[in-house]
């Protein structure tokens, strides 16, 4: 009778296992290095890092948590898209069905509380970076990328706010987008907009200003719902993913995890 150890041993010797794992389980310096180097996900990390930088006490793991919660949002978001239709007719009912009818009935909760969590962790990550002076040379540009990612996080959450199509959604977005109406020069109620005219015709009015482009209409309606849906599910995550790649790449290129220079 082969013991468990023998079974494990034969699995590890099999062609299938070897083709997937490429290296033996990490046990010494060489295999630990290989484990990180040869894995596409782990190779975000260097092989070795200063202990001061990877202690929880120092980083609070806030950047990592933000990325993890982003992944949670992507996964739950994809699952929600299977049941949700972004139309005035169906949106609200589909949200109710997500709790009442959809199996597990938990995806919207995970997605919403995850979104709140991501906003908080992103702020705390920024605070940690500031408090340790980790934006100082040579990491200036990565801090700028981080600020854009912070902004994108807020925009992701804001565009998602409209999708349940309830009163909270409608009015939060109405108030939020009405600020765009007051943008100087490009919003029709902003200072300077009245100056842009040809003869008697105003060039900037309620049907061609920056808010109109956001809402795809003069007020929050069907077209707005679709537009926010696309921004929320595709456009902003697309940009955020690219910037995240830049952000992570630059951590490595700008001297690895921050520590005393």
Q: Based on CB atoms, which residue is closest to other proteins, 170 or 237?
A: 170
Q: Based on CB atoms, which residue is closest to other proteins, 15 or 167?
A: 167
CA-wise closest residue to 175 among 158, 151, 157, 194? 158
CA-wise closest residue to 92 among 157, 171, 162, 174? 162
* Closest distance to other proteins from the beta carbon of 256 (Å): 10
Residue with tokens 């987008």: 177
Alpha carbon distance 108, 81 (integer Å): 10
Alpha carbon distance 80, 85 (integer Å): 10
* Closest distance to other proteins from the beta carbon of 31 (Å): 9
Q: Based on CB atoms, which residue is closest to other proteins, 181 or 247?
A: 181
Q: Based on CB atoms, which residue is closest to other proteins, 152 or 237?
A: 152
Q: Which two tokens stand for residue 113?
A: 């509380």
Convert 194-221 to b/e letters by CB count within 10 Å (16 or more is b).
eeeeeeeeeebeeeebbbbebbeeeebe
* Closest distance to other proteins from the beta carbon of 194 (Å): 6
Q: Based on CB atoms, which residue is closest to other proteins, 99 or 253?
A: 99
**Sequence-distant (≥ 6) Cβ neighbours of residue 242 within 8 angstroms:** none
The 3-state secondary structure of 109-158 reads HHHHHHHHHHHHHHHHHHHHHHHCCCCCCCCHHHHHHHHHHHHHHHHHHH
* Closest distance to other proteins from the beta carbon of 1 (Å): 33
* Closest distance to other proteins from the beta carbon of 17 (Å): 19
* Closest distance to other proteins from the beta carbon of 145 (Å): 10
Q: Based on CB atoms, which residue is closest to other proteins, 7 or 230?
A: 230
């Amino acid at each position: 009778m082969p013991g468990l150890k023998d079974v494990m041993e034969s699995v590890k010797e099999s062609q299938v296992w070897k083709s997937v794992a490429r290296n033996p389980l990490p046990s010494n310096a060489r295999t630990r290095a290989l484990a990180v180097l040869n894995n596409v996900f782990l190779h975000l990390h260097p092989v070795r890092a200063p202990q001061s930088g990877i202690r929880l006490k120092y980083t609070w793991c806030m950047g990592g948590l933000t990325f993890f919660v982003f992944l949670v949002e992507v996964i739950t978001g994809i699952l929600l898209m299977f049941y949700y239709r972004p139309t005035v007719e169906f949106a609200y009912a589909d949200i109710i069905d997500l709790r009442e009818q959809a199996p597990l009935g938990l995806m919207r909760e995970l997605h919403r509380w995850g979104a709140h969590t991501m906003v908080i962790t992103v702020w705390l990550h920024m605070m940690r970076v500031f408090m340790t002076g980790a934006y100082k040379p040579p990491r200036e540009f990565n801090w700028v990328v981080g600020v854009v990612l912070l902004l994108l996080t807020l925009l992701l959450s804001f565009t998602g706010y409209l999708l349940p199509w309830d009163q909270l959604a409608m009015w939060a977005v109405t108030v939020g987008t009405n600020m765009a109406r007051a943008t100087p020069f490009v919003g029709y109620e902003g200072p300077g907009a009245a100056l842009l005219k040809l003869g008697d015709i105003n060039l900037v009015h309620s049907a061609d200003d920056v808010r109109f482009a956001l809402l795809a209409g003069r007020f929050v309606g069907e077209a707005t719902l679709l537009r926010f849906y696309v921004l929320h599910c595709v456009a902003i995550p697309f940009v955020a993913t690219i910037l995240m790649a830049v952000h992570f790449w630059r951590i490595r290129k700008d001297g690895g995890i921050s520590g005393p220079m």
